Amino acid sequence: MTGAAPEGAPPLLSMRGIVKRFDGRVVLDGAGLDLAAGEVHALLGENGAGKSTLMNVLTGVYRADAGDLRLGGQRLQMRGPRDAIAAGIGMVHQHFRLVPRFTVAENLVLAAAGRAGIRNRSTAARRLEEVATGLGFAVDPDAEVAGLSVAERQRVEVCKVLALGARIVVLDEPTAVLADAEAASLLAAVRRMADDGRSVILITHRLRDVAGHSDRVTVMRGGATVAANLPARDATTAELARWMVGDAGVSPTPRRVDPSGPVRLAIRGLRVPGEGGGVGLEGIDLAVRGGEILGVAGVGGNGQQPLVDVLTGLAPATGGVVELDGCAVVTASVAQRRDLGLRVIPASRMASGLVGALGAAANLALTRVRGGDFGHFWLDRRRMREFSEATIASHAIHGAGADRPVRLLSGGNAQKLLLARELAPGAAVVVAHSPTRGLDIQACGLVHGALRRAADAGAACLLISEDIEEILALSSRILVMSRGRIAGELPGGSPASRIGALMLGHA
């Protein structure tokens, strides 16, 4: 690892004692960050900790109510985003700021507004290609943004910021929207930026983005910086988790479960080979009673996806037993499991939960057609439409329409639609995998409420999540998964540090 500033040298950038209020509500209070030249600095914190707000202060989007901001020792007065660009500070926001109908090069021309020597499409295209090559990205300057995937748009945003001359680059939760392989390639590009002498602030709430991908870590909680400049190499997951959630704040009263209630999901000796060198399952045993939320914590990639795939019937097991309400289902089809009341909130809601090109009516009916809810010999489209309109209204699914493709929905609203379908009455066993990934704090609250209500109605819920706070907020009992096995079991409300220790195999 390179980059950490020599002892005693002033940081390239320092933010101290930043206070920011919105409508009288204090959102940042005592927030700060030091950045050294050439380092990757992770800014870690749970959803709502104030990370984006602090970086919006740095980039001139918001003006701080108090605090000190210095670049190279000089006090900086930010009047707006233009000042930030002029100071060589650029940010890739969580919600990209690209005009879909423009090409990549046209977007750069627009953003440059005559700066950085970018005056027309050809200078923009040349600059983009230079920057992209340096990062190891393939970017087509003539491609229309509307046709690009999320990962491609993100690469365009990163190149745009660098082409505008940023020496300090802020990336706001860049890995939250990416699949694992895409995240790895982005993190490799981040390291290249630092090797080229740029300084990167990598906002994340994922502990795995810290180890191996950043030099130092600053942790925010509740609008304040609670730990600054921890060397990433030495910081343990347990320590970081403790800073993120704070041991004091993590003892929500665990759900009370009737210990004599029926076991609705039972798994014994479940084995799956690892695919393509990945982790499989090496003998998983667990049981979930009705009314219970069993949390499965763990760093991603330790067998969570194979577990979900095998439970839902998307992948075969090589050994072991899965029972839904006492029925052995390890060789049953997806539809047979559904008939037994298995419901699934998958980690990638668009890839395996919803069909993006179809409207809400079809998506809500997808899993109910077999049951004859909408007619036995032909589909009663009017009933489907009425049902979807009622659901959209009762679940406040903004932007949804019976025929409007659901891929146009925001993440939170797409998840509401999925919850409305999967957690409708009749759910016996719910498997929820990272159900709040990429959602804002309000949508997270809705998802958590829906899972609690499903459990209250008697469903057995298996919550698989990398988010320790989410696990603690919902679970009656907690298992920790590591390298395809259950590394340990803890009661609900256990300290985050104990979960973290098991995640790392240190307990």
**Nearer Cβ to ligand ADP, position 22 or 426?**
22
Strand segments (E) across 128-208:
168-172, 199-204
Q: In what order do the strands lie in the sheet with 460-465?
A: 342-345, 429-433, 460-465, 293-297, 477-482, 485-491
Closer to Mg ion at the Cβ: 52 or 214?
A: 52
Work out whether 27 is an interface residue with ligand ADP (CB under 6 A): yes
To the nearest whole angstrom, how small is the minimum distance from the Cβ of residue 33 to ligand ADP?
13
Region near ligand ADP per CB under 6 A, out of 43-51, 103-111, 263-271, 376-384:
43-51
Which of 360/439 has CB closer to ligand ADP?
439
CB of 170 to Mg ion, least distance (A): 11
Segment near ligand ADP (CB under 6 A); pick from 40-48, 183-191, 260-268, 498-506: 40-48
Is residue 312 close enough to count as binding ligand ADP by CB under 6 A?
A: no
Q: Among all residues, whose Cβ is closest to Mg ion?
A: 52
- Residue 238 CB, nearest approach to ligand ADP (Å): 21
Angle at which helices 237-245 and 496-503 cross, to 10°: 150
Beta strands in 23-129 (DSSP E): 25-35, 40-44, 66-71, 74-75, 89-92
For ligand ADP, the closer CB: 47 or 436: 47
Please report, as ranges, the residues that interact with Mg ion according to CB under 5 A.
52
> Please, what is the minimum distance in Å from the beta carbon of residue 20 to ligand ADP?
8
Select from ligand ADP, Mg ion, none the partner in contact with residue 84, using the beta carbon and a kind-dependent cut-off of 5 to 8 Å.
Answer: none
Instruction: Please report how close the Cβ of residue 51 comes to Mg ion at its closest, in angstroms.
Output: 5
Of residues 170 and 474, the one with the C-beta less far from ligand ADP: 170
Q: Residue 111: which of 121, 94, 98, 100 has the closest Cα?
A: 98
Query: How many residues touch ligand ADP (CB under 6 A)?
Result: 10
60 binds, among Mg ion, ligand ADP, none (CB under 5 to 8 A by kind): none
CA–CA separation, 505 and 507 (whole Å): 6
Between CA 24 and CA 42 the distance in angstroms is 29
* 276 burial type by CB count under 10 A (0-12 exposed, 13-18 middle, 19+ buried): exposed
**Cβ atoms of residues 381 and 467 within 8 Å:** no
Which of the 8 DSSP states describes residue 11?
P
Least distance between Mg ion and beta carbon 441 (Å): 9
Show contacts with ligand ADP in window 44-103 (CB under 6 A). 45, 47-53
In this complex, which beta carbon is closest to ligand ADP, that of residue 186 or of residue 443? Answer: 443
The DSSP element (H or E) to which 490 belongs, if any, is strand 485-491
Q: Are 365 and 379 in contact (CB under 8 A)?
A: yes
Q: Is 21 in the site for ligand ADP (CB under 6 A)?
A: no
DSSP 507: -
295 binds, among Mg ion, ligand ADP, none (CB under 5 to 8 A by kind): none
For ligand ADP, give the closer residue by CB, 91 or 308.
91
- Sorted by sequence, the CB contacts under 8 Å of residue 253 that are 6+ apart come out as 493
284 binds, among Mg ion, ligand ADP, none (CB under 5 to 8 A by kind): none
- Residue 263, both tokens: 């076991």
Q: DSSP label at 103?
A: B
Binder of residue 53, out of Mg ion, ligand ADP, none (CB less than 5 to 8 A by kind): ligand ADP
Can you tell me the distance from the alpha carbon of 51 to that of 62, in angstroms, rounded to the nearest whole number? 13
Instruction: List residues bridging with 477 in a β-sheet.
Output: 294, 491
Rounded distance, CA 211 to CA 192, Å? 16
Q: Cα–chain-centroid distance for residue 162?
A: 24
Binding partner selected for residue 177 from ligand ADP, Mg ion, none, CB under the kind-specific 5 to 8 Å limit: none
Q: Which residues bind ligand ADP (CB under 6 A)?
A: 22, 27, 45, 47-53
